[in-house]
Amino acid sequence: MDIEVGTIIGPVEVGPVAHGGHCVARHEGRVIFVRHAIPDEQVMVRLTDTSKPRFWRGDAVEVLDPSPARVRPPCPVAGTCGGCDFQHVEWAHQRELKRQVVAEQLQRLAGIEWVGRVEKVGEEPLGWRSRMRYVTETGRAGLRRHRSHEVVELPEGGCRIAEPAGLTVDELDILAREAAGEEMVVAVADAVSVVAGREVLHGRPTVAHEVNGRRLQVAASGFWQPHQEAPQLLVRAVLKALAPRPGEVGLDLYCGVGLFASALAEKGVSVTAVEMDRRAARMASRNVPEADVIAGPLERNLRDLPQQVDLVVLDPPRTGAGAKVVERLVGLGARAIAYVACDPAALARDLKTFTEHGWVAKSIRAFDLFPMTHHVECVALLVPAPAAP
Ligand SMILES: C[S@@+](CC[C@H](N)C(=O)[O-])C[C@H]1O[C@@H](n2cnc3c(N)ncnc32)[C@H](O)[C@@H]1O
């Protein structure tokens, strides 16, 4: 059946939440991934993608039977902007939806029955993001619509999840004109920096974050855990899981500017760290001078890792580490591996590989480090499975 994007269909009964921020619904035998809905609601859906034969995508545009967890989004462009997809859900229920997604991914992809919860972070679901990326092609600071190149203008008062940086929307718009179409990054740390490409529009090219008593320098446009509480919280979770001892040998893989390497080094662990981004790797060497930092893709440097280690921290990008990396890590004799994951599906796939090589997930914690969005961060502790009696 040919049906045009923009067609409104319904009433649609909304089913369970799925990985990716949408709920699964069925309408006249077809699966529809519906954004801005909540399980068990009845909604009218505006179709946004009908190109696939097996499923369509759509947005809930009218709610006929609302969930008790539905709230008025605090941002006037919620629902249009691609950034926040859970603003219409009460905050505690956002965590419940994320719990369901983590549990479902772990069960389906790794065969793990997870009974944890998603831990609340901070007192507010707004004003947490220390890194913002704005598009500037319209001559003003904007954000993108979901799965689109269309630009959404900032509302009065700016993005609600951005850490207030002391820059008004008018000031951001002035900087956006200077950015001349390049993506503009605003980094809030010890100071505020705004960069676009190689141009520093405000502040300095690098900023510093104090974590665990150490000052870590990071490029304003480089990777840094976006929630203002994330670096300290993740370091605590990793140290609690690994309980490092002085004199042990450890790895910090996908190390960025050395967040976990610095925490392990502080505990007297001798650290080798690996990072693909050369600028971040240079900063990791400076931030953690005790560590041996390898600059390059991990999968091409597996032979350069120490032959025997005690501990590993693994914090891969959204795609996960993959079988080749996992298969190398299980042969290094480690007593424990802390896996920090921003994607529960990638985590589950890698956990399956670990399990196939005789490792078990001793604990898996989940943190609400991306309030108002469907994203969730997990920290898994992996240990070699005890030998059968
Ligand atoms: C999720 S970030 C974690 C960074 C760091 N652990 C932190 O918390 O600040 C993932 C990091 O992996 C790096 N990366 C991505 N692919 C990589 C690869 N194939 N090999 C090594 N590093 C990689 C990215 O540049 C990024 O710094």
Q: Quick one: pLDDT at residue 334?
A: 98
CB of 317 sitting under 6 A from ligand 1: yes
Q: Are 313 and 238 in contact (CB under 8 A)?
A: yes
- CATH class for domain 8-70? mainly beta
Q: CATH 3.40.50.150 residue ranges in the chain? A: 95-123+227-384
CB of 255 sitting under 6 A from ligand 1: yes
Residue 362 has pLDDT above 80, yes or no: yes
**Separation of alpha carbons 12 and 35, rounded Å:** 12
Residue 66 has pLDDT above 70, yes or no: yes
Nearest CA owner, ligand 1 atom 2: 317
- Atom in ligand 1 nearest the alpha carbon of residue 342: 1
Instruction: Using pLDDT thresholds of 50, 70 and 90, give the confidence band for residue 387.
Output: confident
Q: Quick one: pLDDT at residue 386?
A: 84
CB of 258 sitting under 6 A from ligand 1: no
CB of 225 sitting under 6 A from ligand 1: yes
CB of 163 sitting under 6 A from ligand 1: no
State in Å: Cα 88 to ligand 1 middle: 32
Q: Quick one: pLDDT at residue 271?
A: 98
Residue 143 has pLDDT above 90, yes or no: yes
State in Å: Cα 198 to ligand 1 middle: 21
Read off the pLDDT of each residue in 179-193 and give the average, rounded to a whole number: 94
For the chain, give the percent of residues with pLDDT over 90.
94
Residue 166 has pLDDT above 80, yes or no: no
Q: Mutate which of 207, 212, 216, 223 to test ligand 1's pocket (most atoms within 8 Å of Cβ)?
A: 223
How far from each other are the two terminal CA atoms of the chain, in whole angstroms? 60
Write down the number of H helices and E strands in the chain. 7, 21
State in Å: Cα 44 to ligand 1 middle: 41
3-state helix, strand, coil in the chain (%, to 5): 25, 35, 45
Residue 146 has pLDDT above 90, yes or no: no
Query: Which residue numbers are catalytic?
Result: 342
Q: Are 45 and 335 in contact (CB under 8 A)?
A: no
Structure tokens of 318? Answer: 């959204």
Listed residue (119, 124, 187) closest to 160, CA to CA: 124
- CATH class for domain 95-123+227-384? alpha beta
Residue 1 has pLDDT above 70, yes or no: no
Q: Are 64 and 42 in contact (CB under 8 A)?
A: yes
Q: Quick one: pLDDT at residue 147?
A: 83
**Separation of alpha carbons 259 and 273, rounded Å:** 10
Nearest CA owner, ligand 1 atom 11: 254
Higher per-residue confidence, 17 vs 1: 17
Residue 12 has pLDDT above 80, yes or no: yes
Give the amino acid at 160: R
Q: pTM of the prediction?
A: 0.96
Residue 388 has pLDDT above 80, yes or no: no
**Packed helices 91-105 and 344-356: angle between N→C axes, nearest 10 degrees:** 30
Matching residue, tokens 């759509």: 58
State in Å: Cα 81 to ligand 1 middle: 27
b (16+ CB within 10 A) / e for 177-188:
eebeebebbbbb
Nearest CA owner, ligand 1 atom 1: 317
- Atom in ligand 1 nearest the alpha carbon of residue 297: 20
pLDDT in tens, 81-93: 999 999 999 999 9
Instruction: Using pLDDT thresholds of 50, 70 and 90, give the confidence band for residue 233.
Output: very high
Matching residue, tokens 């990793």: 238
**Separation of alpha carbons 203 and 193, rounded Å:** 4
CA distances from 150 to 40, 82, 218 (A): 31, 10, 30
**Separation of alpha carbons 82 and 370, rounded Å:** 14
b (16+ CB within 10 A) / e for 6-17:
eeebbebebbeb
Helix (H) or strand (E) holding 102: helix 91-105
pLDDT in tens, 23-61: 999 999 999 999 999 999 999 999 999 999 899 999 999
54 C-beta neighbours (distance < 10 Å), count = 6
Instruction: Using pLDDT thresholds of 50, 70 and 90, give the confidence band for residue 102.
Output: very high
